[in-house]
Structure formats: structure tokens, C-alpha cells
Amino acid sequence: MSRAASNMHVHQDNSVVERRLRPIYDWLDIGNNKKALQECDKVLKKTPNLHCAKALKALTLNRMGKEDESRTILDALIKENPTDDATLQAITLCYREMQELEKICKLYETAVKLDPTNEELHTHLFMSYVRVSDFKSQQQSAMTLYKIKPKNPYYCWAIMSIILQATRGEGSSDPKKRMLLLSLAERMFTKMITDNKIDAEQEVQLYIMILELLEKYEEVLAVMDGPLHTKLQSISIPQMKLKYLKSLNRWNEVNLVCKDILIDSIDRWDIWKDYINSVFELMGTNGVILNDECDDNSDAKGDSELETIDDTPEKAHEFICRIVENGTENGYLLRGPYLARFELCSRLSKKSLCSADLLGETIELFIEYFRKFGHKPCCVFDLRVYLNLLNDAKKAELATRLIKDVGISSTTVPQSEHQMQRHICALQLARLCGSHRNLPADHLKALVTALSLHYQHGYQAYSKNLLPTDLGASDPYALIAAHILYDLAQTQNNSDFIILALMLLDSLLKNSPSNFHAKLLAIRLYHVVGGGICAHEMYNSLDIKHLQLDSLGYVHCARLPTTGLFTLCTNLFDTTLKFFASNYKDSSDHLTFSYKFGSFMKMNEFLDFRERLNNSLHYTAVAIDKIFLSLVECMSLESLYCLSIPPKDHNIDWELLRDNHDLNVYMSWDPERINSPPEDWEETKQLFKQDVLFLKLRNFAVQTVSIIVDISKSTDGTRQKYVDNLRSTVTDWKNLFEQTVAENLAPISEALIPLPLPSRLHGALRVPYLAVFGSMYDLLTTLCGEDTEDASKSTNKVTESLDELTKCLEQNTLKKPNNLLDKRKSMEIAVNCVEVISVASVICIVCNELVKPPHGRKAKKKSSGDSKNRESVIVVADKLKREMNTFCDILQQWTESVTIEDLSQRLEALHLSTSQNIVDNILHSYTIANKEMQLILKTKVKMLSSISR
Amino acid sequence: MTCLRPFTCDDMYKFNNVNLDPLTETYGLSFYMKYLAHWPEYFQVAESPSGDIMGYIMGKAEGIGENWHGHVTALTVSPDFRRLGLAATLMNYLEDVSEKKRCYFVDLFVRVSNKVAINMYKNLGYIVYRTVLEYYSGDPDEDAYDMRKACSRDVNQKSIVPLSHPVRPEDVD
């Protein structure tokens, strides 16, 4: 009765309320939270009990970062059990921001109890379960919804929820349960068919999905042949059938369906592969009988009554030849059948069968393909896959013959753009064949000179009128030259070649300013020589954003922490973390879209993607680096207390971490590239393992600082718990550290461009993180106890570890290398040393807090223990200050110690104008990094100066 | 040499070689996810034999009554795989889907300065239906051509009678 009355009341007031609230929404929409807050207060003054206004105020406060105030309002509001949609939506937004998605479920659970027949509220309740992946509750709420309003989508939501229980919920670890659930889903769907209720395509897709999970492929095929297939508008049924025919090993039908498709679309590579595969599957069986059997099977044969099954390589070859002969009606010469020969050849060789009788010498296939398609850049991509068919001698032969075939000698230049493209293609294939390996350095230098000249000529002749958004046709010459220069830098251990490569890329980018291959390569090369600022400028010009922050994070962001450029780090870390945090929040919305639009086929994909994003190795690395950076820059106890360590919205699940890097974005024609993309290389796996170890060790450092903050904030009663926690965490750290050292892991090779630089693990192991932190923590725990004798012992240990740290920095900067490759590595060590001593200083101020005479307590006579403890802290603080001043001296001396050999002679050979700019810019980057480090150290000295007698 | 298949979320981790091209925009995740959830059949990727992404098309179907039509939201081909007829293959696919959905026409917007693309669309049978003034924001703003091609359902080709006057972006639905 009273509920009805209150509903009436709301209804009457609705338009008035809406008018009042409108401005709040408007301000929120444009992001003016301050104005929105004023408006909220205004409305609440007039109508202090208006739920929606309260909810909007909470939302506004949340967006202003005033989470505590927001929470107070929300908690009070929830007790009043609001049920109107606008209020609930606003509260939902708040909880979403706070990532307290369970509370949204509670919110709507309460709401539907009060208004049990409200379809909209039930829908929201269902979606709230989707957000937290509570599949069981999803199922129940979808069924409730279906009982209120018997609409097909609700029924399908329930079925989908059951499927997810089977595949990702309890069924994922219990095959029996899985079967039970899937059968239930099937029965529910069959009922829908019997009741003649099937209406939309998505429903049929859902059915196919269930059958597929049950491995009932015959039934899937029956659906596609039966009356339901008319609903399937957006897929090509013959191609869909292929998938299930393959699963059923019905190779004769696969063969025929493929042939049917290929006759119409001769460039369908996936179908060619299926076709060839079916031929080899059929080869083992008796083809004649299969052909007979199939005569009755008219629907598998489709339109072309005349096609027969190809069950031998000979017949396949005949079919390919027929397609080649017929297939020139299109304006483009299509590569499909030509490449199909390679696939046939490859399958024969895998079966150790001779291919020469059928296809001729394999090397001739390459030559023929090159003659037909060598003027297209895709030719290299196509042939790369099959270069494995040739042994090393044949590869060398191919390389020579291709270059010869192009007709360009050491004294001529391409006469047409067509010829130039063929030349480029031949050069890239030659490099893939290994022809740049094991050449004497002089030979390679001459090659670089020639390529540089070809680049200049090609630019003058064919690229003059390009739009700024186009890539220059001759750009690949310069890119190959840069790759060869990189090889030279590696084999000769000389960074001058890197500088030359950078100059070449610089001149390329002046002509084609949007060549992203050149930019990516330049970033890579700048990082090899430690020119972080230059790399950063190049990176900015690529306009990397959104998901690229993850997939391309390794290119620049992951290297920045080794450069000592703290300011750049802060900005890029923040951008990256913001992307991850906000997208994790959004990712639950995508799941709800999927239900809304019935795209059940995408559901698993969306769930996987959400996990992939959230378990990104790069995300974890940046999150930890960000905290470390905050600690390094931390200036006082107060700011330490304000830091959120560990990151509150990022729980690391080490087992699930994934490498999301797109290494394939780097062009490379290294022979290693033939077998597999860089993602699958052994080095990539090693790197991942080492990076994870590095992060685990680094996370211990962060965690322990977090614990000592707890110690410092705690009162005597709870302190012991935290002290014990600190001890056990340090022990875990020590165990992992010793294990890691014992493994004696080698850094991955730097020789290949697509591989990121070696893991930071190695640089970290060379710096005494654990020794310094561990000794500081020993001191700290001693200070918490009563035994003052230990304090001086601990002080000695701290002193020793700091001496070790300074020695580490000294040794690394002693050498004054002209080689920037070494300088970069020294810089990484130097940054680590600065990091250690900075955080040690922060630990020191926590120690100081622990020995401070307590306020408020009546001035009890100081015990001798207390003053001894204070004395220990002062000794340590003094030591830290002394060492940091020494650090500054060492770094200052190190700054101006690089001289670069005069490169003008080599530049002339490449026809590049002498430009000192690149060297200057790299050295400038070092200088800035050095200054930033010294600044950090000086502010830390100042911070510690408050600790004195 | 193409393998056309539905675009998946994981493709977003691999499409950099296409998207780093300055004329291809990389959108926020939600944009792609919305299309994947709502019109998954309209979002296709072309993969090379080497497993590289050569290009992709994203689109949708919308409109009421005789305005029910397919729309090309984005079409892009990597610089390494141009002049292979790939754009035409992808467009054909989208037109096929639109036919199956009984659309009246397919439309798309293109910068008036993008001569290469405009010509390509003309070759594929599209006509300039109207000009949309200052559709692309930038410095300066740029006009768009709204180009259309009729589907078989539009028997009298009513949907592709060009407008004589340009329209403002707010008049485009």
C-alpha cells in the first residue's frame, strides 16, 4: 500500500524531478565535476531526500577523487533501498568506477525483491552478474526474466549462461559436469525448436555452438542442410560445412567442396590449404571406392556435377594447372594456384616423397614465382614461408640467381620502378637466404654504400611526387642497409655503425615522413645506444595509442626505465596505466553488449580478451615500475604514506601473465624469420621467463616497502604481526634471488632486430638490491625490538652493503667508453644504483619515525636503548648522505666522458651530409638523464638532513 | 592470395602493420568491441599465407524502411599488400552480406581529397550521392563524399539518385 503510494508520488513528480536533475547530467557529461557538485547541492537543498540527486552527488565526488565522501553518501543511500532506474544507474556507475562490481549485484537483488515483476530491473540484475562472471546466477536471473516476459533472447541468455558454466565454470575442471550442463543446454534448445520458436540467426548460431561443444558435427551439418539454414544469412554455408567435414574426416567431401569454391575464387588461400590437405589425407585410402561412394552424395558435390575427387598429388597438380589456365579473367594475376604448388611441394617433402617428377626442381618454382610476382612487395612474404624447402646450398644458389635475374650489376641502376621493386624483392629474399651472413666486414660496408646509392637514385627517379602520407618506393633499400649496419655494429662491437644507420634513417624520414618501418627501427637503434630522448621523439611521431600501448609497449615504454629519464617515464607510465585501468572497467560492458545483441559466438573471445588484457606482462611491469619510481621520487614520510603500494586495482596472477607484444611489427629478413615469427622464437620464450623473474624480484622490493609502511603506521599491539610478515617476505625474496642467481641465465642475443633488448633482470642482478634493502630491514626490525646490541651490528651491515653499492657504481662508470653500446649498459646499472640508494633513504626515514620519541606520552625519561637506537639511525642517515654525495661526484665525472670518432669519411661514402646532430642528441640524452639522477640524489640528501642529533 | 575470416579480438594485437599507416585511424577499444558485438559478420580480416594481416573491413547495417542499408565504417589495406585487388575483395564481401540482409544500398564516407580511394570506389560501382560539408574535423575541416551503390532490392535504384545540394553533418543520419 505504502509502496504504491510512493510510486504514485514519484510519477507525479517525475517531470519536475527530471528538469531539476538535467543540469547535473549535463555538467557530468562534459566533465565539469565542480559545477555538477554545485548543482547537486542546490537540488538537495530543495529536496533533501531525492535519491537520484544523492546518487549523482556520490558519482560526482567519486569522479573528483573524493572516494571517501562518495562512499559515505552511497552507504547511507543503499540503506534506503532505492528502486527507481535513474538512481540505480547512477549508483551502478559509482561502483563501476570503484571496481566493486559485486555491490551492483546486491543493489539489484534488493531492487527486484521490492519490485519483483519489473523487467528492466531484472535485466540489470542479469547484466550485473555478467560483469562478475557469475554464470550460475546469470542462468537463474535469465530464467526468472523469461518467466516474466517469455522472449527468446532471455531464454538464450539462460542457455548461454549454462554453456559458460560448462566451459569456464565448474564444468571446466569436471568433464562429467561439463557434459551434463551441455546436454541441458542442448535439451533446452531442442525444446525451442519443437515449439517452433526459432526466429533469429543468433539463435541458430547458439545451437551450432552447443552442438560443436558436444562434438556432434553430424548434427551441425544437418542443421545447415535443414530448414534452420535459411536463418543463417551472414555466413557462407559451404565454407562453414568444411570445418565440420574436416572434423569428421570426410575428406572426399572436403575435397569436392574445396574444388567447388576454388573454381570460383582461385585466390582463397585457406581453401587451397584445405584442398591440398584433403588430397594427402585421401592418398592413404582407396580413392576409387570413395569416388563411387560419393556419386550418391549429391549435396556434397554441389553444382559441378563433373568434378571428381582428387586423391593423388598428380590429380592435385592437374587441378592446379587447370585453374592456372582458366584463371586469368580477372585483371589481376592471381597468386593462389602458383602458391598452391609450393604447398603441394611442401607436403610431398614432409612425406619424404620426391616432388621433382611432378613439379620439377624446387628452386625453379621459386624462380618462376619471382618472375611472375617479384614486382610486388608481397612476393617476399609469400616465398618466405617456403624457403625451408631448400637446403643451405640451394638457398645460396637462389639468392645469386634472383639478383642475376633482375639484371642489375654493381655498376647499373634500375631502369624502371618495376625493376627496382624486383631488385628490392631479390635483395630481401637474398638476405632471408642468409647471403649477408658470414661476409667479411669490408664486403658488407661496400654493400651498404651500394644500397644507400640505390636508395638515393630510387628516390630521385621514382619518389619525387609522393604525398607525405605515402611510403617511398625506394625506402626498402635504406631499411636493408640499416639492418646490415646493425649487423656490423654487433659483430664489430662498434656503435659507430648504429650512428650511421640512424643517419641513413634520418635522411629517409626527411623524404618519406610517415614511413613507420623506419621510425620503429630508429627507436630500436636509439635504445641500443641509450638515446632515450631521441627514441622518445620518434615514438611520439608514431602516435601510439589505445591497445598499441600494450602490443607495442615493448618498443619504447619498457626500455625507458633503463635510461634514467625519470620525467619521461612518469608521463608514459601514467598514460599506459590509465589505458589498462579504464579498459578493464570497460571490458565488462563489452560482455553485456554481447548479450544485448545476441552475439554468443563472440562471448568466449571477449572473456579471453579481457583476461589477456588484464594479465599483460607489460601492464604488470609498468605498474611495478610506476611504484618504484614513486618511491625513488618520494620526498617525505607523508608522501610515502599516501602512495598506494601495491597497486590497488591490479592483483598479479603470476601464472596467468602473458606476453602481448607484437614483435612481428618489425620488418626483418633474418634467416631465422623463415621458420617462425619472432613470437615463437626460443629467445622470446627465454626473455619472457627472465622478465617474469625480474618482476617477481622487483615486486618483493615493492612489497617489503609496503610492509614497513604498515609497521610504521601500526601501534605496538599489531606491530609484531607486520614485523613477522616483513621477515618472511624478505626470506622469500632471498630464496628467489638465490635460485635465480644459481640458474645463471644468459642475456638473450642482441643480434636480431625483432627481438627486444635483453631482460632488465641481468642489470638488476648486478646491483645489490637485496643486500642493501635486506640490511636496512634488519636494522628496522631491530629497532622494533628491545635488543639494542643488535642495532649497531645492523648498522655495520648497512654500511657494508652501501659500500658495495658505491663500488658497483664506480666500477661501471670507471671505463670511459667511446662505444655507446657499453655506455647504454653502464647507464642501466647506474640507474639501478640510484634507485637502490634512493629507496634506502626512504626506508631510513621510516626507521627514523620508529625511534622518534612518542608525542603525547608524558616525558618519560629516555631509556638508554631508545637513544642508542636513534644514534644508529643517525649513523645510517649520515652514511647514506655521504654515499649519495659520492654518487653525484661519480656521475658528474662520467657525464662528459664520451668522444665519438669522426664519422665524416664514412658518411661521405654513403652520400650523406655530415651531421653531428644525431650524436649530439644522443649525448644530450645522457646528460639530461645524468642531471635527473643527480637531482634525485640531492633531494634525498636534503630529505635525510632532518635526521640529525 | 587471401584468407578472409571474421575479425577477432586478438587481431587487434596484430594489426599494427596496417594501423601504423598514417591514413588508418586506431580507435579506442570500445569502438571495435561494439562492432564485434553488434555486427560481427560485418567485421572481416584478410590474412596472408604468411599469417600477416593484410587489411580489414568493418561495417554495419542500419536504417529504417527504404533506408535500411549496409555501411562501410573502415576499410584499410597494409602498404605491403596494395594493388592486389584486396580492397575490392573486402568490399565485395560486405556487399554480399548486405544483399543477404536485404539491404537497399551500401554507403560510405570518404575525404574529398582522397582521390585514390574515390576512384577505387567508382570502379567498384559507387557514385557520389552527396557532399557532406566539414564532416572530418581537423585544421581545416574537410568535406566528405557520401558514396553509394544500390543493392538488388532497390530495383529502381532510387537510393542512388544524387542530391543536388550538399548537406551538413547533423543532417546525416
Quick check: ipTM above 0.90? yes
A596 φψ region: left (φ > 0), alpha (ψ -120 to 50), beta (else): alpha
3-state secondary structure of A794: helix
CA nearest neighbour of B43 among A243, A601, A645: A601
Q: Is B37 within 8 Å of chain A by CB?
A: yes
Give the 3-state secondary structure of A696-722.
HHHHHHHHHHHHHHHHHHCCHHHHHHH
- Is the preceding omega at residue A854 within 30 degrees of 0, hence cis? no
B41 φψ region: left (φ > 0), alpha (ψ -120 to 50), beta (else): alpha
Specify whether the CB–CB gap between B33 and B7 falls below 8 A.
no
pLDDT for res A911: 65
Query: Residue A438 class from Cβ within 10 Å (0-12 exposed, 13-18 middle, 19+ buried)?
Result: exposed
Q: Roughly how many angstroms between the first and final C-alpha of chain B, as a whole number?
A: 37
CB contact under 8 A, B85 and A331: yes
Cβ contacts of A93 within 8 Å, gap of 6 or more: A59
CB contact under 8 A, A590 and B8: no
Instruction: Tell which B residues from 75 to 114 touch A, by Cβ distance under 8 Å.
Output: 79-81, 83-85, 89, 97, 100-101
pLDDT for res B57: 98
| pTM more than 0.90 | yes
How far apart, in Å, are the Cα atoms of A330 and each of A326, A334, A377, A435, A488?
Answer: 10, 8, 20, 37, 46
Q: How far is B160 from chain A (nearest CA, A)?
A: 24
Residue of A nearest to B41 (CA): A234
Residue type, A763: G
| C-alpha span between A448 and A452 (Å, rounded) | 6
Q: Is A469 within 8 Å of chain B by CB?
A: yes
- Say how many CA atoms lie within 13 Å of A551 toward its Cβ: 25
Q: How far is B58 from chain A (nearest CA, A)?
A: 14
How far apart, in Å, are the Cα atoms of B44 and each of A351, A619, B59, B87, B150?
Answer: 35, 29, 9, 12, 21
Place of cell 518467466: A147
Q: Which residues of B touch A471 (CB under 8 A)?
A: 79
Place of cell 653502464: A826
Q: Which residues of B touch A381 (CB under 8 A)?
A: 48-50, 52, 80
Specify whether the CB–CB gap between B131 and B166 falls below 8 A.
yes
Query: Residue A855 class from Cβ within 10 Å (0-12 exposed, 13-18 middle, 19+ buried)?
Result: exposed
Q: Is A240 within 8 Å of chain B by CB?
A: no
CA nearest neighbour of A748 among A672, A832, A664: A672
DSSP characters over A536-561? HHHHHHTT--TTHHHHTTTTTTTTGG
| C-alpha span between B162 and B105 (Å, rounded) | 13
In a mutational test of the B interface, the residue from A268, A475, A546 whose CB has the highest number of chain B CBs within 10 Å is: A546
Q: How far is B81 from chain A (nearest CA, A)?
A: 6
Specify whether the CB–CB gap between A828 and A763 falls below 8 A.
yes
CATH number at residue B20: 3.40.630.30
Element (DSSP H or E) covering residue A156: helix A152-167
Per residue of chain B (173 residues), give pLDDT as tens. Answer: 678 999 999 999 999 999 999 889 999 999 999 999 999 999 999 999 999 999 999 999 999 999 999 999 999 999 999 888 899 999 999 999 999 999 999 999 999 999 989 999 999 999 999 999 999 988 889 999 999 999 999 999 999 999 999 999 988 86
CB contact under 8 A, A269 and B27: no
Q: How far is B42 from chain A (nearest CA, A)?
A: 8
| C-alpha span between A947 and A941 (Å, rounded) | 10
Q: Which residues of A touch B42 (CB under 8 A)?
A: 234
- The count of structural domains within chain B is 1
Q: Roughly how many angstroms between the first and final C-alpha of chain A, as a whole number?
A: 75
In a mutational test of the A interface, the residue from B33, B76, B115, B123 whose CB has the highest number of chain A CBs within 10 Å is: B33
The side-by-side arrangement of strands in the sheet containing B69-77 is B3-6, B44-47, B53-62, B69-77, B105-111, B142-150, B127-136
Which domains can be identified in chain A, with CATH numbers?
1-127 (1.25.40.10), 766-853+864-944 (no CATH)
pLDDT for res A222: 96
Q: Is A671 within 8 Å of chain B by CB?
A: no
CB contact under 8 A, A590 and B100: no
Specify whether the CB–CB gap between A499 and A486 falls below 8 A.
no
The model's pLDDT over A876-888, given as tens digits with 9 standing for 90+, comes to: 999 999 999 999 9
How far apart, in Å, are the Cα atoms of A97 and each of A21, A94, A111?
Answer: 21, 5, 21
Query: In this complex, which of A385, A469, A551 lies closest to B16 when CB atoms are compared?
Result: A551
CB contact under 8 A, A376 and B84: yes
Q: Which residues of A touch B2 (CB under 8 A)?
A: 267-269
Residue type, A641: Y
Average pLDDT, chain A: 90
Place of cell 636509439: A526
- Say how many CA atoms lie within 13 Å of A206 toward its Cβ: 35
Q: How far is B54 from chain A (nearest CA, A)?
A: 10
Cβ contacts of A893 within 8 Å, gap of 6 or more: A813
Structural domain range at position B90: 3-171
Q: How far is A529 from chain B (nearest CA, A)?
A: 25
Low-confidence residues of chain A: pLDDT under 70: 1-13, 286-306, 327-332, 647-650, 786-789, 815-817, 854-865, 896-916
| C-alpha span between B133 and A712 (Å, rounded) | 64
